[in-house]
Amino acid sequence: MTKLSVNINKIATLRNSRGGNTPNLIRVAEDIQDFGGQGITIHPRPDERHIRYQDAYDLKPIVRTEYNIEGNPIPKFVDMVLAIQPTQVTLVPDAEDAITSNAGWDTKKHKDFLKEVISEFSRNDIRTSIFVDPVVEMIEGAKETGTDRIELYTEEFASEYAKGNKNAIKPYAECAQLALDTGIGVNAGHDLSLDNIQFFKENIPGLLEVSIGHALISESIYLGLENVVNMYLHRLK
Give me the active site residues, please. Answer: 43, 70, 190
In terms of C-beta density within 10 A (0-12 exposed, 13-18 middle, 19 or more buried), how is residue 133 classed?
buried
Q: Judge contact between 66 and 3, C-beta under 8 A.
A: yes
